[in-house]
């Protein structure tokens, strides 16, 4: 039902802060009722006179006086977050759902939990960002991204009608240089020093650039020995099989004849079940990436005198070497399954002093010829 009476609201000054009051229709526990709303408008420095404060209240009054105005369901942030976690997070991928749940439990609910959804304003969100500056910029941005996702549901379900992120300033994101193999020789040393099945795993990681979850989810049926291709159809996270990271991640990646022959030999040494994983535990389940890195890769890196790295280092090196060898960027992007070439170039492609020195020497020779 639309608002039956036109209202002008009222403003009052408490200390140095202006507040606006008006009536609004709300739905609590399925029951529609009228509720007195009190909204912070700004300080006396923002609005030196009462008339200016009244003007600041007018946009909100226009909404409640509109013939299109309808009662809005109300809830505390804590209650809505619980509702959102129970109904939305199960629809997401396990890794995403786990990250969102952690953000809610550790940061968002403790900070916003005592507020109503209407009280979560851009000013409150900015204060929240400022209170988390002891965290890394990436972590702060992830927290705000979780809040944005929750807010989209709140808007769709009719709990809020305002933009809680208008003009909110986030910390500048800095991308640290990730360690990766500096040459093909370093990766070859790791591969040659590894026992099976890790030799095959590291070789496949270096040559195809697949993500760790994609590698460990490969089944023998995903390998085409005749056309030397690998079909990426699924991924694994914490033992759970799921779809790849994005639609671009579902792809076909070519491999060398030597790797195809090696995989064929490994296949003949295994059972005949085509549904079997390439890299599995004694129970037949996919290997765990964290265990592979902790128990096998990192001890081997220490033994070889190489920096501490994870399986993702093969993926970064794959992109970097492709760039050094002049492989078209589009080809590297497709092999990695990235949504954009910019991501491939900015994040996964690294340079070293040898590249720059070779360029300088070549240019110097040309200029002085």
> What pLDDT, in 10s, does the model give residues 224-264?
988 999 999 999 887 788 888 778 889 999 999 999 999 99
Over its C-alpha atoms, the chain yields an Rg (Å, rounded) of: 29
Tell me, what's the pLDDT at 352? 64
Q: Which of the residue ranges 153-162, 181-190, 201-210, 352-361 would you say has the lowest mean pLDDT? A: 352-361
Compute the distance between CA of residue 141 and CA of residue 113 in angstroms, rounded to an integer: 19
Q: What is the mean pLDDT of residues 298-303?
A: 95
CATH number for the region 77-156 comes to: 1.10.150
Looking at 217-311, list the stretches that DSSP marks H as alpha helix, in order from N- to C-terminal side.
257-268, 289-292, 298-304
Do residues 23 and 7 make contact, with C-beta atoms less than 8 angstroms apart? yes
Contact 118, 156 (CB under 8 A): no
Q: Is the peptide bond before 341 cis (omega within 30 degrees of 0)?
A: no
208 burial class (0-12, 13-18, 19+ CB within 10 angstroms)? buried
User: Which tens digit of pLDDT belongs to each residue from 12-33?
Assistant: 999 999 999 988 777 777 677 7
- pLDDT value of position 1: 46
Task: Kindly report the pTM of this predicted structure.
Answer: 0.68
Architecture per CATH, domain 184-354, reads as Orthogonal Bundle (1.10)
Domain spans in the chain, listed from the N-terminal domain onward: 10-73, 77-156, 184-354
The tens digit of pLDDT for each residue in 169-210 reads 999 877 667 778 888 999 999 999 999 999 999 999 999 999
pLDDT of residue 247: 81
Chain centroid, CA 248 distance in Å: 16
Q: Residue 251 has what pLDDT?
A: 92
Tell me the pLDDT band of 2, cut-offs 50, 70 and 90. Answer: very low
Helix 312-324 / helix 329-336 crossing angle, nearest 10 deg: 160
What does the alpha-carbon distance between residue 244 and residue 231 come to, in Å, rounded to a whole number?
Answer: 12
Q: Evaluate if residue 353 carries a pLDDT over 70.
A: no
């Amino acid at each position: 039902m639309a608002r039956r009476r036109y209202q002008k609201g009222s403003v009052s000054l408490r200390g140095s802060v202006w507040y606006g009051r008006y009536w609004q229709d709300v739905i609590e526990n399925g029951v529609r009722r009228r509720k007195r709303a009190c909204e912070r408008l700004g300080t006396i420095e923002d609005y030196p006179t009462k008339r200016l404060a009244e003007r600041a209240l007018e946009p909100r009054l226009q909404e409640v006086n509109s013939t299109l105005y309808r009662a809005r369901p109300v809830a505390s942030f804590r209650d809505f977050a619980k509702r959102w976690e129970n109904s939305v997070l199960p629809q997401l991928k396990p890794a995403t759902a786990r990250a969102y749940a952690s953000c809610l439990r550790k940061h968002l609910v403790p900070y916003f939990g005592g507020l109503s959804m209407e009280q979560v304003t851009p000013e409150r969100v900015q204060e929240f960002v400022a209170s988390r500056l002891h965290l890394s910029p990436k972590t702060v941005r992830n927290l705000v991204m979780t809040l944005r996702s929750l807010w989209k549901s709140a808007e769709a379900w009719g709990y809020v009608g305002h933009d809680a992120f208008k003009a909110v300033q986030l910390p500048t994101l800095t991308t640290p240089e990730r360690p990766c193999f500096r040459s093909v020789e370093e990766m070859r040393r790791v591969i040659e020093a590894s026992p099976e099945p890790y030799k095959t795993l590291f070789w496949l990681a270096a040559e195809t650039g697949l993500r760790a979850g994609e590698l460990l989810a490969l089944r023998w049926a995903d390998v085409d020995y005749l056309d030397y291709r690998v079909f990426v159809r699924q991924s694994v996270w914490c033992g759970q099989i799921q779809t790849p990271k994005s639609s671009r991640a579902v792809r076909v990646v070519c491999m060398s004849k030597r790797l195809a022959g090696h995989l064929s030999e490994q296949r003949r040494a295994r059972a005949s079940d085509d549904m079997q994983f390439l890299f599995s535990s004694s129970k037949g389940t996919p290997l765990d990436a964290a265990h592979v890195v902790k128990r096998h890769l990192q001890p081997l890196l220490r033994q070889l005198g190489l920096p501490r790295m994870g399986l993702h280092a093969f993926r970064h090196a794959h992109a970097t070497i492709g760039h050094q060898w002049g492989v078209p960027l589009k080809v590297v992007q497709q092999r990695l399954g990235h949504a954009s070439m910019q991501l491939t170039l900015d994040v996964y492609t690294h340079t070293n002093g040898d590249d720059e020195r070779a360029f300088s020497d070549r240019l110097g020779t040309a200029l002085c010829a």
